[in-house]
Structure formats: structure tokens, C-alpha cells
A and B are shown apart, each in its own frame.
Chain A
Amino acid sequence: MMVVANGNLRVDLRLIADMVEPGGRVLDVGCGDGTLLAWLGKHKNVDGRGIELSMAGVSAAVAQGLSVIQGDADTDLKDYPTGAFDTVILSQTLQATYAPRTVLANMLRIGRRAIVSFPNFGHWRVRLGLALGGRMPVTDTLAYEWYDTPNIHFCTIRDFLVLCRELGITVERGIALDRDGRVLPFAGDGRRANLLAAQGLFELSRSV
């Protein structure tokens, strides 16, 4: 994914980092080599944990002293006790899970809040590519051919908001990002963002 670097953290990660409260317990699902966790540990004093699918990612993360387990969102969230974390992060991974609904529900069970980012399948380029080209779209944020994509559950920003409503999840904040990682205005029911955003980033909380 192409995002302009800002400091030493990717822009989308920086936006996520800004949403994390200092000093809390954080679980980063799909944490890669632990870049975000390391940053949060250093700058926000969080007690961070991670889950990552690849051995290389886990190994790199553990090698910088982070607590990361090899696993995935579909199988490894269910064991955590309710309320174990202040914040659970899922960055650019929701669309690659087998059961996004269960994953989302689990995130807000084990965490008080969740931060989720995903590529927006409602982006006008995607719509245009499919409508006019008649082929599955390949874009900066969806950079795979249909036959080799790890992304098996695409959604649009509006689809996501509907699911959150169904699960009784409160959307505390939404941020829409364009292709270059610039923040777009996000207002109302998100129809405009759904057309213009290449990815969406949401801060969620459990409705009591």
C-alpha cells in the first residue's frame, strides 16, 4: 500500500497511533514486524501485544522485544478474556479475514475500543474499473489480481457502517483517506467518503 511517510511511521499508522490513548493496553492484530507497537511503546507508553500471521513478522517483532504471537484474527481472538485491552487495532486486515463479523465482534468484546482500517471497495476508481472495464479492479490499495488476492471479504465504507450498526457498535470517529493518504472530510452518512476515499479508518466503541 502506498502511503506518504510522516516521521518514521506510515501515515495511516500515524493516524491510528493518534487515536490510541497513552498508557493503555493495546492489541495490534496483524501487527507485521511490530512497527506500530514499537512506536506506541516508545511514544505513548502503552503495554502492547501483537498477533501476526507470518513467521518473519513475528520473529522481527519479538527480536525488538515486543510481545507478539503467531496467529490470526479468525482463530486467536476468541481466547482473550472480555475487556483484556483498552484498544484493539486491526489495520488493513479485516478484508482478509474469513469471518469479519465475528472478528469485529470479538475485537469489541476483548477491547473497550477498536480501531479498524480497510481499503474502501466503494472508491470511485473501483466502481469505474468494474463498471467500464468490466474487470476486477486493481488499485493502489487493492494491488492484487483476483486470483492471488488475500482479500476475500471486500466491503465499502457504507457496508462497514451498516455492520457496525447491526453489531451494536458505536462509531466514535471516522476518517477517510485518499490515494495519497490525505485526510478527506467525513460527514453525515459517509456517502461522499464512500465515493472518494481509498481507505477508511474508524474508531469504534462498545455500545452499553
Chain B
Amino acid sequence: MTVQEPPGAASDHTPGGHTVELGRDRPIRLDCGVELTSVTVAYQTYGRLNADRSNAILMCHALTGDHYVADPHPITGKPGWWSEVVGPGLVFDTDRFFIICSNVLGGCMGTTGPKDVNPATGKPWGQTFPVITIGDMVQVQARLLDHLGIGQLFCVVGGSMGGMQVLDWCASYPERVFAAIPIATAARHSAQNIAFHEVGRQAIIADPDWMGGNYLDHGIRPHRGLAVARMAAHITYLSETALHRKFGRNLQDRDVVSYGFGADFQVESYLRHQGSTFVDRFDANSYLYITRAMDYFDLAAEHGGQLANAFRGTRTRFCVVSFSSDWLFPTQESRAVVHALNAVAANVSFVEIQTDKGHDAFLLDEPEFHATLTGFLEGAAEHRGLGRREGGAS
């Protein structure tokens, strides 16, 4: 059987990625009621789509991630956020699977977001960009798959906000998801997490350079506010143990404290660095919109208050993963998802990985985590008829 190759889908990897414009023929209706008729989606692919289009894996990135999964980041030059596990012979083996990752709606790395020009006004959207939801992001991803000619995904995987998208995929398009891996995530954003997000947003809004969201019209950017938002958020991605191990109370380039408010401590210097490098690659309004989307996420509320209802009748194979020292998306959040899946007798695996690396553990070298992912994918691939891994390593 010969298969018409969809545009871009089966082509070899290009480091810059691809873009496609969606919504012209059929507007994209957002949860807030606004319809978008032109959404540009920037995405990256790795590996090749097989003949029966059954080996596609969608990776959903986290709050400040993007589609540069395994390529050097075009702005920072750093390795892609999941280059540890995506590549030939790696956990997500690009010799076997066709991997897709798109920049989310509202993002700032090529997909339509508040820093782009509103075609109706000829000016950047800024605060006139519609408020988006996790469901809207997923809807746009589903449109991208339509464009690529992929009906059912072999797997949807993502951590943190990416995990929220995974759960939303399973609830909104159950028949399009064969296997799902929600990692370090939750079916709803907790009050504490909304609180942290609000701190970040207020830091941005309090920066005079934010200019009511219209900073791009004035050729400036609210660097200071965005940097503080990033600093506060970055703390939540780590654990007390990890911070202490990395920095302790060590002083930065000095032997005694300065009796001032410079970065005396290494941990301060580190956070300042995190903040200042972040503003080079991220748009402040995108940060506001995407954090808001996470805050609004509550899968149970969308299904009559019962999380189990979101998954009723599901045939998807789930692998839920949490990390013991993650206090941003603690294990109990993953357990709530597992219990809901059990309540509908879904096919689910769940493991809490013991680590002291906090929420960010899903991006780091965690052998037990990677072994679990490999095994789950192996089992799912066999059930999907994708055969066993060559060499039998698992």
C-alpha cells in the first residue's frame, strides 16, 4: 500500500522545525467563545511516520517549554528540554516512533500568541489576545494532527502543564489516544499553585515597562517583572533538599556577607541568573496567558464534578508518573487521577519515582523513571502491533 505523505509529516527532521496556518477553512472556537480564523502553529518532528500512521507520539511541553524537544534552542543554544530521552535508541526512540511537538497556543516561539500581530488591527495582540485554556491548546494540537493526516496517536506524553494537556487529550479525544503518559501533573490546578502563579503575574503587571500589556507598541519589555516571576516559579520546580545540596548557604564570590542586598548567597545569584536568561526567550504576556490557562484547568469540574466521568469508557492505556519530592504537583494529585481511572476500570500503571530533585525531575536524568517509560512504551507498542524493540533492550 502506498500512502500519500502528509505535508511535513514524514519528512526528515529539520532543526528549525515547521509551521502551518490553521483555522482558515474552519475557525477554531475557543472556550471563551472567541473564534480564531488564523492560527499559526510552530512544530517540530523527529523520526518518520510509518505507512499505517500508527507510530506517532505527541509530546506536550510545559509552561515555559517549546517545540525544541531535542534540538538546540534557537535563542539560548542549550540542548532541547527532553534531549535526554528523545533520539535514536533512546527512551522515545526516533528510529521507531514519529515524534511531534508543537508550541502551545498563546506561546511565543512561533505559535500564535499575544506577541503576534492581530490581523484585524495590524498591531500586536497584547492584552486583547483572548484568554485561552488547556482545552484550547489541545484543540489546536488536534487540528495539527488533522493537517498531518494522523488519526490516532500511539501516545501522548507530557509533564507538568504538558501532563494537563495529556489528561485533556484523553478526556476530549479518547479515541485518538492509544496510550497516555501524564507526568508530574494534576487534573486541576491547586489553590497553592494558582497562588504562586498570581505572584508571578503581579510581578509582571507591577513592572512599569509592562505598560498595560502594550509594551511591544513602545518597543520595550517588562524584563524586571518577568525575571522576578521566573525566579519565584523556579523555586517551586526544585526541592529544599536539591537546593541545599546544590547551594547550601554558600556565598557567591566572597568570603563574608556584604551587609547589603547584593547576591551574597549562591542561591540568590543562581535565581537572578535564571530570571535574567529567561526574559531573553520568553514573552511576558505569554507568561500571563499560559499561567492563566493552567489556573483554569479543572477536569473534574468540566465533567459534572466527578473526575472519573472524564475517563468513562476509555480504552487508552495510561502510565501515570509522579516524583516523591515534587511539592508543586505532589503525588497525591497523581493518585487522584489514578483513583479516577480505577473507578472506570481503566488500564493504568502508576509509579512514584523516589528522587530529591523536585518537580523538575521529569526533565532530568532519572534512570528508574526512564526504565519505567521504556517498559510502558514497549508493552503499549506490542499491543498496538508496532512490534518489539530491536535488540530487545528494555
**Contact residues, B1-41 vs A (CB, 8 A):** none
Question: When the two chains form their complex, are residues A67 and B353 in contact, meaning their CB atoms are under 8 A apart?
Answer: no
Interface mask (B332-365 → A, CB under 8 Å = 1, otherwise 0): 0001001110111101111111100000000000
Interface check A113, CB cutoff 8 A: no
Note all chain A residues with C-beta closer than 8 A to B79.
none
The 5 A-B pairs with the shortest beta carbon distances in the complex, nearest first, are A65-B379, A63-B375, A69-B350, A79-B342, A79-B339
Q: A58-B350, A68-B349, A69-B348 are in contact. Are A63 and B374 (CB under 8 A)?
A: yes
Interface size class of B (residues with CB under 8 A): 20 to 34
Interface check B302, CB cutoff 8 A: no
Interface check A59, CB cutoff 8 A: yes
Question: When the two chains form their complex, are residues A55 and B354 in contact, meaning their CB atoms are under 8 A apart?
Answer: yes
The answer, among A62, A65, A79, for a CB contact under 8 Å with B343, is A79
Interface check B376, CB cutoff 8 A: yes
**Contact residues, A49-96 vs B (CB, 8 A):** 49, 55, 58-59, 61-71, 76, 79-81, 84
Q: How far is the CB of A31 from chain B (nearest CB, A)?
A: 11
Note all chain B residues with C-beta closer than 8 A to A59.
351, 368, 371-372, 375
Note all chain B residues with C-beta closer than 8 A to A80.
342-343, 345
Interface check B250, CB cutoff 8 A: no
Q: How far is the CB of B181 from chain A (nearest CB, A)?
A: 11
Question: When the two chains form their complex, are residues B338 and A62 in contact, meaning their CB atoms are under 8 A apart?
Answer: no
Question: When the two chains form their complex, are residues B319 and A55 in contact, meaning their CB atoms are under 8 A apart?
Answer: no
The answer, among B351, B374, B379, B382, for a CB contact under 8 Å with A58, is B351
**CA gap between A79 and B353 in the complex, in Å:** 22
- Beyond A55-B352, A63-B375, A71-B335, 14 extra complex contacts between A and B, CB < 8 Å: A59-B351, A59-B375, A62-B375, A65-B376, A65-B379, A65-B382, A67-B348, A69-B320, A69-B338, A69-B348, A69-B351, A70-B351, A76-B339, A76-B342
Interface mask (B368-394 → A, CB under 8 Å = 1, otherwise 0): 100110111011101100000000001
Q: Give the interface of A toward B (CB within 8 A).
A: 49, 55, 58-59, 61-71, 76, 79-81, 84
Note all chain B residues with C-beta closer than 8 A to A49.
347-348
Q: How far is the CB of A83 from chain B (nearest CB, A)?
A: 9
**CA gap between A11 and B272 in the complex, in Å:** 61
Interface check B48, CB cutoff 8 A: no
Q: A55-B368, A64-B379, A79-B343 are in contact. Are A71 and B351 (CB under 8 A)?
A: no
**CA gap between A80 and B338 in the complex, in Å:** 10
Question: When the two chains form their complex, are residues B349 and A69 in contact, meaning their CB atoms are under 8 A apart?
Answer: yes
**CA gap between A59 and B375 in the complex, in Å:** 8
Interface check B317, CB cutoff 8 A: yes
Question: When the two chains form their complex, are residues B368 and A62 in contact, meaning their CB atoms are under 8 A apart?
Answer: no
Note all chain A residues with C-beta closer than 8 A to B394.
63-64
Q: A80-B345, A81-B344 are in contact. Are A70 and B376 (CB under 8 A)?
A: no
Q: How far is the CB of A77 from chain B (nearest CB, A)?
A: 9
**CA gap between A62 and B345 in the complex, in Å:** 17
